Structure 1
Amino acid sequence: MSKKWLIAVTGTFTHLLLGTVYAWSYFQNPISESAGWSNAQTAWAFSLSIFMLGVTSAWAGNKMSVYGPRRLSMIGGALYAFGYLVSGFALAHRYLFLLYFGFGIMGGIGLGLAYVAPVATVSAWFTHKQGLATGMVVMGFGFGALVMSKFLAPLLLQLSDGNLSTTFYYVGAVMIVLIPVLASFLQLPKPDKTHEKKPERISIARHIQSKPFIVVWLIFTINIVAGMIFISFQSPLLQDILKMRMSDGTNFSDGETMASLAAAGATLIAVSSVFNGMGRFAWGSISDKIGRMYTFRILLALQAVIFGLLILVHHPVVFSVLVCIVLLCYGGGFGVLPSLTKDMYGSKLMPSLYGAFLTAWSMGGIIGPQIVAFMKDNYAEKAGLFAFVVGGGLLIVGFFTSFLYRRKDVINLEN
């Protein structure tokens, strides 16, 4: 295996472990019910994690040339692991704000430090087929929910006799061993000495304030909001639909009933994560052929149609299929963005501005989960309907906003 492919593979597996954060909806109901917290209170742990991921990614992308991808990813992986350990203690003692600190702040910072480095590193190694190479790496992040919901979490829950706190301790122990080992392979290619120039201070402020950056940031945010509606609550939303189809006398607190509902939710998390992962790879490759912004428009338009259908759907299988399509498109946004960033700003600015674009993840990570959490806490029977109306409206806005993007504006900014 060549060096660049070894880095691509280890970067993909690093993202696979980081992407276990996307299995949050697997834990949403059990944590909320066992601790007695509301949906909104519990969901803030996930929202904070994604918020810190985006903010820290912006910083890490700008500092990668200083600290290097290996160091950032190894430290980030360790922080993500410690976040689980702190969260386990918080769950054992029902300290909500400690859960926010552990899973949200500490874990989110770790994710942000470790996320950008594999993508930017692989982008630097692969001068051709950018969408294919970076799409493969971020595909790993999408598959993380599958690993957690169908393999890691069930196994560790069984080992801990269903104790959530102990399960989080075990997850932290796994992460602190595996992520730093995989991240240790990351390194940037050596610069061509014949073209090597004296290092210069790179300012990205004027790019961030420009119209092209703002347009891409907005449509990426909206794409994230749409996906986060399901990543944070797909299991509870599916369980709500399944409950409506059960007989009136069903005891939803019965152990077997709860287990069957949880199993159905875990299956959807696992299957949809495959679509999330494949979307990053497939849409990244497609964008190599048809163009980055045209691909984004397809993603937004397709999701707007799906959200319209979700308003009318009450069948669990149809609901699950539509969720998988949304996450296929959600993943697609992450598959297209690295190559779009490099096309817009070049290799030198790519890590810094890619990290800056990921602040959209912070915004989407708050808006998406909190839309559903608010609806479930205040309009339980109509939560899904209202969330789909809001999400669909945002996607329509995003689709039309994409037409404000002009490639020539980026070129003019460089002149």
Structure 2
Amino acid sequence: MTTLDASGMPARSLLPFLDREHTIARLGYSRWMVPPAALCVHLCIGQAYAFSVFNLPMTKLIGITQSAPGDWKLTELGWIFSIAMVFLGLSAAVFGRWVEEGGPRKAMFTAGVAWASAFLISALGVYLHNLWIIFLGYGVIGGCALGIGYISPVSTLMKWFPDRPGMATGMAIMGFGGGALIASPLSVWLMSKFATTSDVGVLGTFITLGCVYFVFMMVGSAIVRVPAPGWKPEGYVPPAAATKLMTRNDVFVYQAVKTPQFWLIWIVLFCNTTAGIGVLGQASAMSQEMFPGHITAVAAAGLVGLMSLFNMGGRFSWASLSDFIGRKNTYFVYMVLGISLYVTVPYAGASGNVVLFVLCFLIIVSMYGGGFSTVPAYLRDMFGTRYVGAIHGILLTAWSMAGIAGPVLINYIREYNVTHGVPKAQAYNTTMYIMAGLLVVGFLANLGVRAVDKRHHMKDEDSSGLEPARAA
């Protein structure tokens, strides 16, 4: 869509090299350059999963060696991540169409500037010891960077890899799951280098991370390209007609949200994410309390690291598998296998079977990651490629809701059980059964997904930028 100025002429961009028309690939450009470009962004914003490494040090900004009067509490700091997750979903929904029409370079550049700013503003909040500045920096601005950066390469990757859309999005989105593997030890190391007798090292670490992430995200925005109109991979022959749930037609973004298919997939993602994110966020404490004396703090930390690997690997492997068995069938696997695993966790705890417990958690978290990387291709199958990035952005509000629901279910049910005399080793059992019940709801929602009715398909585009006309 071309923006016109008051005289009716095409408007000039302040930074024309960011415009979509300046990112069209020339002859000879390799589509395999796009996944690394996406990874440059996703590995950086994936730091969000490692933000918890700052929580304890930030409770000692005044006391240095221990919390002192005036220091922040962990409960207060916990809101930083929650705010960021909320604004991730909101920004993805609000800016999804802008990301789609403006192109990946403009979106990646914007996300890079916002992500770097989030750390620099948060550093100011640490320096002034003002938590509200950090809420604004990392929570609001950082959350917007997460949302815009997360969806920026999605539709571009699927246009470059129409033959393997699941694998393509899996390659990029696995970076979001794996970003914590880099950010966690890097952040701890940086804090140790910046720490002094009067400084825990958070301030210098925030500034350094902001600068480093800015450089890498700018590299990603510089090398990304969109395919030329009509481009197809060598030897690729599009299906002559729609097959099963895969359509060759496009659905306008705001028309898509009016379809039952969109909301059924929203429920599927919400259920899968709520179940997984609760486990991912409390894996360390849960494992130690369910196996006291068997799983130490060090072993629990190792489990969290191993889960990060499975979270990352699941995003690529499950999404790649969906190219062969279909997106709907892949989510059936997530739900059926997930129900079995959640029901098995209490048994593993009661029997003292650490190996079974760890195996359950690793598979669960792999499907949690797989759910994120499979859903863009699911949307592409249902609504076409034209507005899939914008539709995906709105769908990510399910992630925002799950980011609140999952931890709340885990934490408050555990607290209620412990308060009423339930041993800590059994305090999570009720939650595991509730998570299994959520996946039953997700299974039923996925079962109801059908091909989108042709009346929702776009017929032609309105150059004014309003909703395109649809087939009668």
* TM-score category of the 2 structures, normalised to the smaller one: 0.7 to 0.9
Evaluate the alpha carbon distance shift between residue 165 and residue 217 of structure 1 in structure 2; reply closer, same or farther with a 3 A threshold.
same
User: TM-score scaled by structure 1?
Assistant: 0.84
Letter paired with 1:401: A
Within the alignment, does 1:346 sit opposite 2:380 as a pair?
Answer: no
Do 1:48 and 1:366's aligned partners in 2 also have CA atoms closer than 8 Å?
no
Q: Aligned pair 1:160/2:194, yes or no?
A: yes
* CA deviation string 1:31-87 (max 9, x = no partner): 568545254x43322122122112211233211244221111111122122222333
Q: Distance in 2 between matches of 1:95 and 1:377?
A: 30
Q: Following superposition of structure 1 onto structure 2, how do residues 10-409 of structure 1 map, counting pairs within 5 Å?
A: 10-28=37-55, 31=58, 34=67, 35-39=71-75, 41-91=76-126, 95-149=130-184, 151-161=185-195, 163-192=201-230, 203-241=252-290, 244-245=292-293, 261=297, 263-314=298-349, 318-375=356-413, 381=424, 384-407=428-451, 409=452
Distance 1:93 1:319 in 2: 44
- TM-score by length of structure 2 reads 0.75
Instruction: Give the 3 Å change call, closer, same or farther, for CA 27–304 of structure 1 in structure 2.
Output: farther
Task: Describe the SS at the equivalent of 2:224.
Answer: coil
Contact map agreement 1:26 1:266 (CA 8 A) in 2: no
> Which structure has the larger Rg over C-alpha atoms?
2
Greater shift, 105-114 or 312-321, is seen at 312-321
Amino acid at match of 2:446: S
**CA shift digits 1:241-280 (9 cap, x unpaired):** 46x3289xxxxxxxxxxxx72x444433322121111111
| SS of residue paired to 1:209 | coil
**CA separation of 1:205 and 1:63: change in aligned 2, threshold 3 A:** same
Ranked by relative contact order (alpha carbons within 8 Å, sequence separation 6 or more), the top structure is 1
- Whole-Å separation in 1 of the counterparts to 2:209 and 2:428: 31
Match of 1:255 in 2: none
Shift of 1:216: 0.5
* Cα distance in 2 for residues equivalent to 1:94 and 1:306: 44
Change (3 A) 1:390 1:370: same
Contact 1:74 1:183 in 2 (8 A): yes
Residue aligning to 1:250:
none
**Unmatched 5+ stretches in structure 1:** 194-200, 248-259
Indicate if the aligned counterparts of 1:344 and 1:410 stay in contact, CA closer than 8 A.
no
How many pairs are equivalent?
A: 391
Give the CA RMSD over aligned residues. Answer: 2.8
C-alpha separation between the residues in 2 aligned to 1:184 and 1:287? 30
| Structure 2 residue runs without a partner (length 5+) | 1-27, 61-66, 232-249, 419-423, 458-470
Question: For the Cα contact (< 8 Å) 1:47–1:369, is it kept in 2?
Answer: no
3-state SS, counterpart of residue 217 of structure 2: helix
Q: Which structure has more helix as a fraction of its residues?
A: 1
1: distance between equivalents of 2:55 and 2:437? 26
User: Among the aligned pairs, what percent are the same residue?
Assistant: 30
Runs of 4+ in 1 over 6 A off after TM superposition: none
Contact 2:170 2:373 (C-alpha < 8 Å) held by counterparts: yes
Contact (CA 8 Å) 2:40, 2:219: kept in 1 or not? no
Alpha carbons 1:69, 1:121 under 8 Å: kept: yes
Q: Partner of 2:152: helix, strand, or coil?
A: helix
